[in-house]
Amino acid sequence: MIFDSLDVSYGDMWGSHEGTTHPAPISRAVAARRHAAGMEYAVLLSSRERPLALVERWPRGKWRVYLFDDRSWRMQMIDFKPHHTGMLLAHRNTRWRFSTELDRSSFKWDVQETTTVLADGLVEARSEFAGPRDPEHVPVRLFPAPVEDFLCPAPEFGDWQVFTPFLAQQSHQPATTVVLSDVSVDEGSGPLRATGIEQLFSSGARDTPDGPAVVEPVDAGLLRITSGQLAVSDPGWIREPRTVAVPPGEFPVTLSLLRTTHGVNVAAARVTFLDIPPREWEMALRPDEDLGLLGEGEFYGVGVDTGTVAFMDATRTVIEDELDENLFIPLDSRFTVELPGTEPEPNLIAFRAGQGDGSYPVWIGRTDDGQVGCVVVDFQLHSSGGGE
């Protein structure tokens, strides 16, 4: 196949996704900001609606290129790393052979061939076959080759022509001049916005993705803040909580229960600092997080691995060996549990996290004069979104 133009689109990293389009597309502008920040993103190069190459930007100046064959199967992976010349070194090139589409979709290869550029000017070619085999009997060849044969320019953002010569390794021949056309999604409305947060705590009937439901706000006790910093975290992993500067004192915590035909879940949790309706909402961010790096509907959120989230003072500690007995087991039959602190020490109020593990947005509600009126964790049972 000879091509003289390539369609360029951008997205999040593909991971285990096996498809021909981005599972999570992002705009060119978002990708450019991620590039400038040294963050990960993916570039898809296509021709006539057929994928030819998937280019992934990795940390520390590394790149990975997947090549597709004429069947739109990912059949090859080339890893690049920075070279002391300022260029990229294609230091590892891996090809796979599959018998059937089913084998390919489950990544059950018959043969894996890997070529590795070694530090001593040699190249190692290794062939591995499916099934048990003694490593000593894996065919390996060593041969000399100039390192210049494996170098290519390190691309600036948008300079994807530097990778087009590698497409010939899957019989996609570039013309003398290759024109790039941007077909990425529009920037749209950007990151997730706080909508309907107040309604999460207003009792009554609701329509949800799972059908009719009823919202029931319930009291979860008073949270004691002593340091002036609220922490929002999975209580089983409090090393990097999301923190918000708030006044010291004792403040009410409210849960929003969502009752559906499938059962009852915690839809949101709120700690209220001022009995004043918020004028605006902002996402709770860590210092190193930038909203400009998020794609459509994405957010930075609190990560959950134990099915539980907690409000606590930022100085509060937990004894991990006691969490099962004092917190996780009681939460099997309750929506919320308090781990008290001896006054005036701070306590901890934990609650079930919606439908379980994941990432959930934390919203700061500010009053007219910019004070923190409340902080809310939304478990997104009324809608869906994408977190980081």
The number of helix segments (H) and strand segments (E) in the chain equals 3, 27
- Cβ-Cβ contacts under 8 Å for 238 (sequence gap 6 or more): 231, 310, 312, 316, 317, 318
Label the pairing between strands 298-299 and 280-283: unpaired
What does residue 326 show for φ and ψ, rounded to 5 degrees? -90, -15
Q: What is the pLDDT of residue 87?
A: 97
- Cα angle: 102, vertex 103, 107; to 5 degrees: 120
Q: Look-up: residue for tokens 């043969």?
A: 111
Position 187 scores a pLDDT of 75
> Are 108 and 131 contacting, i.e. CB atoms less than 8 angstroms apart?
no
Say if CB 362 and CB 301 are below 8 A apart: yes
> Distance between CA 77 and CA 95 in Å, rounded?
7
How far apart, in Å, are the Cα atoms of 14 and each of 22, 40, 41, 100? 7, 11, 9, 22
The amino acid present at 100, given as its one-letter code, is: T
Give strand pairing partners of 352: 308
- How far apart, in whole angstroms, are the C-alpha atoms of residue 268 and residue 363? 11
d(CA 256, CA 91): 53
Q: What is the pLDDT of residue 139?
A: 85
Domain definitions of the chain by residue range: 2-182, 198-387
So what's the pLDDT on residue 133?
56
Looking at residue 136, the DSSP 8-state letter turns out to be G
170 three-state secondary structure:
helix
What's the CA angle centered on 34, arms 353 and 48, to 5 degrees?
A: 105
* pLDDT at position 120: 81
Tokens linked to 243: 């923190």
Radius of gyration of the chain (CA): 26
3-state secondary structure of 43: strand
Beta strands at 122-129 and 111-117: parallel, antiparallel or unpaired: antiparallel
Cα separation, 263 vs 352, in Å, equals: 14
Termini Cα distance of the chain? 38
Q: What is the pLDDT of residue 344?
A: 83
Supply φ then ψ for residue 162, to 5 degrees: -65, -20
What's this model's pTM, rounded to 2 decimal places? Answer: 0.67
Residues 6+ apart with CB under 8 A from 106: none
Nearest to 281 by CA among 361, 164, 218: 361
pLDDT < 50 positions in the chain: 384-386
3-state SS, residue 157: coil
Nearest by Cα to 173 from 161, 182, 164: 164
pLDDT at position 384, please? 47
Query: Could you tell me the CA-to-CA distances from 362 to 19, 115, 231, 375 in Å, in that order?
Result: 32, 46, 11, 7
CA-based nearest residue to 262, from 331, 333, 212, 335: 212
**Measured distance CA(200)–CA(361) in Å, rounded:** 14
**Are the C-beta atoms of residues 167 and 51 closer than 8 Å to each other?**
no
Q: Pairing between strand 2-11 and 173-182? A: parallel
Q: Report the pLDDT value the prediction gives residue 137, as an integer from 0 to 100.
A: 67
| CA 122/CA 9 separation, integer angstroms | 36
